[in-house]
Structure 1
Amino acid sequence: MVNSRFLGLLSLLTLFVSAEARPQSHAVWAADSAIARKQGNGLDSSQRASVSYEHGELQWGLRLLYEATGNRTYYDYLLAGANNIVYDNGTIHGNYAYVSKTADYSLDPVRTGPTFLYLYQKTGQTKWKSAADTFKVQLDAHPRTGQGQFWHKKQYYNQGWLDGIYMGDVFYAQYVKDFQPSNSTAWADITQQFNLMYQNSLQASSDVHNTGLLYHGYDYSHTAVWAASDRGHSPEIWNRALGWYMMALVDVLEVIPTSNAGYATLRGILQNLAPKLRDAADPSTGVWWLVMTQPGREGNYFESSGAAMFVYSLLKGIRRGFITDTNGSIRAAAEKAYQYMTAHWVVENSDGTMGWTNTVQVGSLSGNGTFEYYVGVPTVLNDLKGLAAFLLASVEYEKL
């Protein structure tokens, strides 16, 4: 018979090991868990090279965590991931051959570009400059609307999406800062990308369920089935699309010179959106609905990737002085949302890793853009778009 005291000691030891396996930092826990699952490493599920915006998002978080902790594990992982998609001569390979400027003019793969620029700064290796140049050449030839907005993809004729601002313009801004800092035309173009999206997708006060926030996208040609008669905007505010845009604002405001007129424009947009985003949060939980224009409607739910993106954007905006939060209400709202996230969407796995729930798989304007479409898309456990956003939010929260 096993001694009962031994069983008690074994139970305590198990609890101790479990506690040790779980980092106190949620940022560290999220990053370590993604690495343990080999997520965001430049390879797809079949171990083929994959130029993925999700990987670029995670690598941005790993970079910030490396800079905050000095733990080289995070730098080495993002370096290995980038090496998986860039040959030694600087050629971007894998699926980029199918989504590049010659085939699809997609903004999505450009999101890996900031990783290339960062690695060029750290290593001085010309392969990273060559890879970054490939994306800049794509942007130089990228199709645009009559107003000058990048199309989200070649297949989405004359359409600007909030998602594309994050995918393309964070890289665009960093590239100009690094190699063309006095290029006033480029800075004006970057500012225009944000401003055109804002002006064409801002919800009007007369619209139903007005939040004063931004619709998912717009069609400058007004030919899409979902295009509104006034500015061609889509019918609903999808939380993650707005999240991409908000993150792009705070990340580019770190890069654009404060003396440039574009800085004031971008900061003005952020200052306008931040309190409206605060007010759009569910009063009880503090987080946001998947379809923000239909709060409480049957089928709608609180979605985790958009919430994490909002927390990152608001806290970083406040910390860097981009958002004026005189009474502390915006910070309080972001903190409340973060506490809901850790209590409801973080799962402790038996192997000590962290699971992340309630991230919607995808959102697109390739169809009709209706409420039924958005809520009909399934959620995915450990979806990198949400987990990486939670890493970013946790980095900012822990800086408080």
Structure 2
Amino acid sequence: MQVQTQLSWSERIAATIIQQCDGDGYHAFPSGRWAYVEGMTLMAMARTGQHYGKQEYVDFMKKHMDLYIQPDGSIGTYTLEEYNLDQINQGKNLFALLDGAEDRRYAEAAHLLAAQLAGQPRTSEGGFWHKKIYPFQMWLDGLYMSSPFLSEYAKTFHHPELWDEVAHQILLIERQTRDPRTGLLYHGWDESKEQVWADSSTGCSPHFWSRAMGWYAMAIVDSVEHFPVNHPKRGTIIGIFERMCHALVRVQEQESGLWFQVLDQGFRKGNYLEASGSSMFVYALAKGVRLRYLEPHFRAAAEKGWQGLSSRLVEETADGVRLNGICHGAGLSLDRDGSYNYYVSEAVVSDSFMGVAPLLLAALEMERLP
């Protein structure tokens, strides 16, 4: 079945994903385990369905969530005691399932994930460790995994003190990772300064990775969306977000409108225009403009970024929408030193949901702009 080209971009991307399902409507990717990219994919599909009134896409999310949520609210393949922030992300889909739910399993699952965050290991200033196995480390990625979930949980279950927690996490990592010269944020911070990748004086990793900043930018717009307008830290968060977006626009590649894998290194040998980070920035800029967190002039950067994605990295084939130029994965550990050569030597792939899910989110946000 060929995807109809007269549909919006988000509908075409969503239709491509549906086309990949088996005869029972299950997709191999989000059917395997409870995990962060899987959760983002389901969320992007449900948002597209909600916006365009396509129940099939909302049902796609529920069908795959129900593979994991047990009758008692426990979560298949999830272990709380790992204290892994990545494992919170898929829980964002639970809130959309609460309305009209006849049983309490979705609420119980949300409470379980909130319990993980209540006991999450912390730095001396209260910052969440990225994972139990990464002591005293905060990564920008973790803010996207946990903060929007906790913010919506605070609103849904009437725990206003949790907005203070979300604000603390967002502001703490920005303070620890921001480079005052460029305004960009380093990928990770090790309070103990023991990791091989950590600067001996600051504890920061050595480079500005596009997807890490993309995670953080999305974390802010998705978290603040649920804050009460009179929260005392709301304006500060919006202020640091706009300051960061100025820095991102400064490193946006002017001809293509895209962003580099290592943000400030331009066309240095090995560097390339990367799809997932670029999609995340388009999403955050567009949503920031729509919700008035950003001045209207940032719309031009979002539009330029979207034009670059759709004309340079996206292909339309008989099988639907394809996306090229995606960094397969990157992290920080003994064998992942955060060097320039490390980031540019990671595999570059096509059609990974690490890029496709942010692309779908970005497409939908561009379509929602007034």
TM-score band, normalised by shorter chain? over 0.9
Q: Does 1:24 align with 2:4?
A: no
The alignment covers a number of residue pairs equal to 365
Displacement, 1:24?
2.6
The answer (yes or no) to whether the contact 1:42–1:84 under 8 Å persists in 2 is no
1:144 to 112, 118, 122: 122
The secondary structure found in structure 1 opposite 2:99 is helix
Displacement, 1:78?
0.2
Structure 1 or 2, whichever has the larger Rg, is 1
Q: Does 1:396 align with 2:346?
A: no
The secondary structure found in structure 2 opposite 1:343 is helix
Distance 1:344 1:125 in 2: 46
Displacement, 1:38?
3.6
Displacement, 1:37?
2.0
Residue by residue over 1:171-229, the C-alpha shift from the partner in whole angstroms, topping out at 9 and shown as x without a partner, is 11111111124x33x22111010011100000132xxxxx2111101001111111113
1:258 to 217, 229, 239: 229
Letter in 2 for 1:73: E
The secondary structure found in structure 2 opposite 1:364 is coil
Distance 1:339 1:124 in 2: 44
**CA shift in 2, pair 1:32/1:260, >3 Å:** same
Displacement, 1:122?
4.6
Residue by residue over 1:211-261, the C-alpha shift from the partner in whole angstroms, topping out at 9 and shown as x without a partner, is 211110100111111111332111000000100100010011110111011
**Residue in structure 2 matched with residue 332 of structure 1 by the alignment:** 300
Q: Does 1:225 align with 2:196?
A: yes
Distance 1:199 1:71 in 2: 42
The answer (yes or no) to whether the contact 1:43–1:84 under 8 Å persists in 2 is no
Letter in 1 for 2:210: N
The secondary structure found in structure 2 opposite 1:347 is strand
Residue by residue over 1:49-70, the C-alpha shift from the partner in whole angstroms, topping out at 9 and shown as x without a partner, is 4101112112221222122111
**Residue in structure 1 matched with residue 89 of structure 2 by the alignment:** 111
Displacement, 1:380?
2.0
Distance 2:37 2:103 in 1: 24
Letter in 1 for 2:290: R
**Residue in structure 2 matched with residue 373 of structure 1 by the alignment:** 342
The answer (yes or no) to whether the contact 1:27–1:395 under 8 Å persists in 2 is yes
**Residue in structure 2 matched with residue 187 of structure 1 by the alignment:** 163
The answer (yes or no) to whether the contact 2:20–2:27 under 8 Å persists in 1 is no
The answer (yes or no) to whether the contact 1:42–1:49 under 8 Å persists in 2 is no
1:311-326 correspondence runs (5 A): 311-325=282-296
Q: What is the aligned-residue RMSD (CA, Å)? A: 1.9
**Residue in structure 2 matched with residue 3 of structure 1 by the alignment:** none
Q: Does 1:342 align with 2:321?
A: no
Q: TM-score, normalised by structure 2?
A: 0.94
Displacement, 1:136?
0.8
The secondary structure found in structure 2 opposite 1:164 is helix
**Residue in structure 2 matched with residue 8 of structure 1 by the alignment:** none
**Residue in structure 1 matched with residue 172 of structure 2 by the alignment:** 196
Structure 2: runs of 5+ lacking an equivalent: none
Displacement, 1:22?
2.9
1:119-138 correspondence runs (5 A): 119-138=97-116
Distance 2:102 2:353 in 1: 29
Displacement, 1:124?
5.0
**Residue in structure 2 matched with residue 302 of structure 1 by the alignment:** 273
Distance 1:398 1:193 in 2: 30
1:160 to 138, 150, 169: 138
**CA shift in 2, pair 1:122/1:28, >3 Å:** farther
- Structure 1 stretches (4+) deviating beyond 4 angstroms? 41-45
Residue by residue over 1:371-394, the C-alpha shift from the partner in whole angstroms, topping out at 9 and shown as x without a partner, is 111111112221112111111111
The answer (yes or no) to whether the contact 1:235–1:370 under 8 Å persists in 2 is yes
Letter in 1 for 2:276: S
Distance 1:264 1:312 in 2: 20
Residue by residue over 1:120-139, the C-alpha shift from the partner in whole angstroms, topping out at 9 and shown as x without a partner, is 13525301011111101111
Same amino acid, percent of matched pairs = 33
The answer (yes or no) to whether the contact 2:251–2:264 under 8 Å persists in 1 is no
Displacement, 1:279?
1.3
Distance 2:367 2:212 in 1: 25
**Residue in structure 2 matched with residue 268 of structure 1 by the alignment:** 239
Letter in 2 for 1:284: E
Q: TM-score, normalised by structure 1?
A: 0.87
Distance 1:112 1:310 in 2: 21
1:11-160 correspondence runs (5 A): 21-38=4-21, 49-94=32-77, 96=78, 100-102=79-81, 104-160=82-138
Letter in 1 for 2:173: M
Displacement, 1:89?
2.2
